[in-house]
Structure 1
Amino acid sequence: MDETAVAFEEYRNLLFAVAYRMLGTAADAEDTVQDAWLRWSAADRSDVAEPRSYLVRITTNLALDRLRSARAQRESYVGPWLPEPMLTSPDVAEGAEMSESVSMAMLVVLETLSPLERAVFVLKEVFGYPYAEIARALDRSEPSVRQLGTRARKHVEARRPRFEARGAERRAATERFFDAVMGGDINRLMEVLAPDVTLWTDGGGKVRAARRVIHGADKVGRWLTAVVGHAYQGIEFADMRVRRVTLNGEPALVVDGPDGPLTTVVATVAEGGRVEAVHMVANPDKLRSVARGRELPL
């Protein structure tokens, strides 16, 4: 491996981590990293004093271009659009701050930012880059970048999940929810769902899923008990296998059919140990990373 490749490989995981938080899908993040490699390998690197900063700048701008294009496509997406779930180490769920930035709930919030706001938020709040460096990366003035950062932070703070449960407490609450779901017990479900819980199901128009976000404990509980235990996509429930994993830093379920994953289920636990959001991804295009067992580098 030559020096050019060695330098790039040193930061490949970092570049993927930045791109994934910017784009919300592993496929787009990987394509962005590959484009960054093409730029890097063809560039005149004689004046590059800090390869890390240079590569992050290239990746961020490539991700921005891709995100702007993806925004238009997502406007015509069938049903709720959710990020692509990725496996993470179980240790991550025990309270690492970096894991919150890739949680399903947080990535959904980041979708509501403008592309530039998202870029500034990711670089500043997640990776700790100073505003001056972000301004150089985005070719903007530092005051304008600070303004973007302040606006993005306020927007995220107003919408981010508010839960204090961490570690064992959070996992225990999630396990109670999973047990109630798999048991099809509406009464137990109502005990663990927050009154204003929301259910997001992403089928992408390719498999059966709710076309709108479902609100409220009663509706969410009834929807879950109506679908669990029944055939799905021509596969009988007896032929499915449910396994507990960690996705995006959170305890989760993967429901497998004979040919691979059918859906993932992630629950966000609110203060008080109740579930305030459920995110289910069934779009087969978004289950490829889980099927391959690929783990998200944080």
Structure 2
Amino acid sequence: MGEESLAARFEEHRAHLHAVAYRVLGSNAEADDAVQEAWLRVSRAGDDGVANLGGWLTTIVGRVALNMLRARTTRREVPWDEPGAAGEHDAPAGPGSPAADAPGDPADAAVLSDSVGIALLVVLETLSPAERLAFVLHDMFAVPFDEIAPIIDRTPAAARQLASRARRRVRGGRADATAAREREVVTAFLAASREGDFAALLTLLDTGAVLRADSAAAEMGGPVRIEGREALAAFWSGRAKAVLPVLVDGVAGGMWQLQGVPQVVFDFTVRDGRVVAIDLVADPAVLASVELSKPPRH
């Protein structure tokens, strides 16, 4: 594929890539730089043989942002978007660059900051680079752990543990209302599933919702992956009768157990009041690292 065509396809993903970089780095200027660096890498490598361009680009910008986070330990920290912040240097124009796309507009930065929340960014600053990236990619963008693992040079189980530690620390700094709302969504989803309420499931699922199963869960006879709201609603309708509501590493989820021993954990990712991803986890090593607890009573 020619560079011009690749540039056009990259531009289609620019807003998403900038959002990922911003949530990882907490700086609009550094996010601009991360997206531009990602474009430079992509333009040199090309996309031959890439089946999932969006996932591949997310992986690249995630790796760039991780390197930038690690580099911070060698220099003075600069508050978000402070004049003179790291990353405010000249870069060749191209897809994802400030010159070409102007994502550094103050109004855009203000909207983005509001959507993430300064309080959350403050909490994220307390995490290690690997914890921060694992949490952001999985909990905010529903990237599976087997895709996060190579970015941070860990196993999928280790990536999950990093995200779990980060989630507990972030949860301590988030508003109780946010956690309560997520529990309401998951509780309503499981109830609609048990009752076979297809219409209710549709309202609770995001348009691009996805179900993913690890190899152990797939060996039990379930699907490896289901994509799309309608397909997930059809699959879950009438299915959750044996699923118990639990907190999975402090976040609303579900569990199927046999004789009191957890067999499968249902790890929900909720964003803007809708379920965007459900991960089925049955790997014994991963289950051993997951903290399960009863949800609070209403």
Shorter chain as denominator, the TM-score bin is: 0.3 to 0.5
TM-score (norm 2): 0.47
